[in-house]
Amino acid sequence: MFLCFYVFLYLLFIYYIYLYILYIFIYSITIYMNSIHTKLLKILEDLILCIEGEWFVGDGALLGLIRDNKLIEYDDDIDIYLLPGSKINKEKLNKLQLSYQDYYLCGKVYDENNVKQKKNKWIEYINYNKQLPINYGCNRSQIIEYAKKTYNKNCISHTFTYPCIDIFYLEEYENKHILPFYFGNIHKEDYIMFTKDLTETMDTYLYDLKIKIPKKYKEVLEILYGKDWRIPVRNYYNTFSSQSLSLSEQ
- Residues 146-165 pLDDT 10s: 999 999 999 999 999 999 99
Per-residue pLDDT tens for 94-111? 999 999 999 999 999 999
Question: What letter would DSSP give residue 116?
Answer: P
With vertex at residue 88, the alpha carbon angle to CA 84 and CA 93, rounded to the nearest 5 degrees, is 175
The CATH number, out of the four listed (1.10.10, 3.40.50, 2.40.30, 3.30.460), of the domain defined by the range 9-118+158-225:
3.30.460
For residue 168, give the amino acid letter: F
CB 80 within 8 A of CB 40: no
Determine the 3-state secondary structure of 110 from DSSP. strand
CB 44 within 8 A of CB 111: no
Amino acid 148: pLDDT:
93
Please give the full DSSP string across 79-132, using - where no structure is assigned.
Answer: EEEEPTT-EE-HHHHHHTT-EEEEETTEEEEEEEEEEPPP--HHHHHHHHHHT-
Which helix (H) or strand (E) covers residue 59, if one does? helix 59-68
Amino acid 192: pLDDT:
81
Which helix (H) or strand (E) covers residue 58, if one does? strand 55-58
Tell me the backbone φ, ψ of residue 87, rounded to 5 degrees: -155, 170
- Would you tell me the crossing angle of helices 121-130 and 140-154 to the nearest 10 degrees? 120
Amino acid 15: pLDDT:
72
Residues facing residue 173 across a β-bridge: 176
Count Cβ atoms below 10 Å from residue 226 Cβ, excluding itself: 16
Q: Please list the ranges in the chain whose pLDDT falls under 50.
A: 237-250
Per-residue pLDDT tens for 111-126? 999 988 888 999 999 9
Question: What letter would DSSP give residue 134?
Answer: G
Q: Strand 106-115 relative to strand 99-103: parallel, antiparallel, unpaired?
A: antiparallel
Amino acid 154: pLDDT:
93
Distance (Å, whole) CA 190 – CA 219: 16
Domain ranges of the chain: 9-118+158-225, 120-156
Amino acid 247: pLDDT:
32
Determine the 3-state secondary structure of 195 from DSSP. strand
In this prediction the pTM is 0.79
Amino acid 184: pLDDT:
58
